[in-house]
Amino acid sequence: MSHSPDTLHGARAQLLAAAQRSEGWTRPLPPVDGNAHAASVLVLFGKLDSIPAQTDSATMAADLDVLLQRRAATLSSHPGQVSFPGGRAEESDADAVATALREAEEETGLDPAGVEILATLTEIPLAASNHMVTPVLGWWRSPSRVAAVDHAETVDVFRVPVAQLLDPATRFTSTIHRMGRTWKGPAFDVDGTIVWGFTAMVLDALFDAAGWTVPWDASAERPVEL
């Protein structure tokens, strides 16, 4: 179901407005080849358990958390990294939304019935694994219990407060030295858990587009181990 942010207020409306402009803020990345696989991730925001019942229009960014997971270190693609739930599309999936919800249910055990889809964002090339990834923006109306379902793929599932991600003390610029080049990007240090790469890039750009970003020191650089 589509909604007009003009008739809504609060964090949900800000996410909707940002989604409608995603072609303008999605960060450019190296292209993939013509045989790239379609994939989707679920970027799922929900109210913190500590927030009293309230209408969506009263919900602010600081009232939210986002669902993340840590990939198994034995995976061939992005091993050990923190990521959104998601994965490669299957022939039985009707669209990018179906892929994101199916993968999230398989990886975290969440109940898709409690998720309201706000929008699909502009697809992003991910050359490292040769995928074209569609971020699917969701609002967790009825949060369900989540945990790592298959430890061969996912070792941990957690809900990170958005306020913690926005805290300037949490943020830094990651540096990766590979093939004679240095790659830099936004990153978050969540109590020692490092969120970087594709996931951090999407969160950083989405926070900017939604008007949530708190000024932080991008000159603070730290190397990230692959």
Q: Which string of DSSP letters, residue by residue, matches the chain?
A: ----GGG--HHHHHHHHHHHTHHHHSPP-PPP-TTPEEEEEEEEEEE-TTSPS--GGG--GGGEEEEEEEE-TT-SSSTT-EE-SEEE--TT--SHHHHHHHHHHHHH---GGGEEEEEEPPPEEETTTTEEEEEEEEEESS------S-TTTEEEEEEEEHHHHH-GGGEEEEEEEETTEEEEEEEEEETTEEE-HHHHHHHHHHHHHHT-PPP--TT-EEE---
User: What average pLDDT does the segment 17-37 reach?
Assistant: 80
Answer whether residue 137 is part of any domain: yes
Domain count, the chain: 1
For residue 118, being part of any structural domain is answered with yes
Does residue 153 form part of some domain? yes
Q: What residues make up the domain containing 83? A: 5-161
* pLDDT at residue 225 is higher than 70: yes
Q: Is residue 220 in some structural domain?
A: no
Mean per-residue pLDDT, 142-167: 91
85 located within any domain: yes
Averaged pLDDT, 53-75: 82
> Could you tell me if residue 63 is inside a domain?
yes
Q: Is residue 14 part of a domain?
A: yes
Is position 20 within any domain? Answer: yes
Can you give the pLDDT at residue 67? 97
Instruction: For residue 136, give the CATH number of its domain.
Output: 3.90.79.10
Report the pLDDT value the prediction gives residue 2, as an integer from 0 to 100.
42
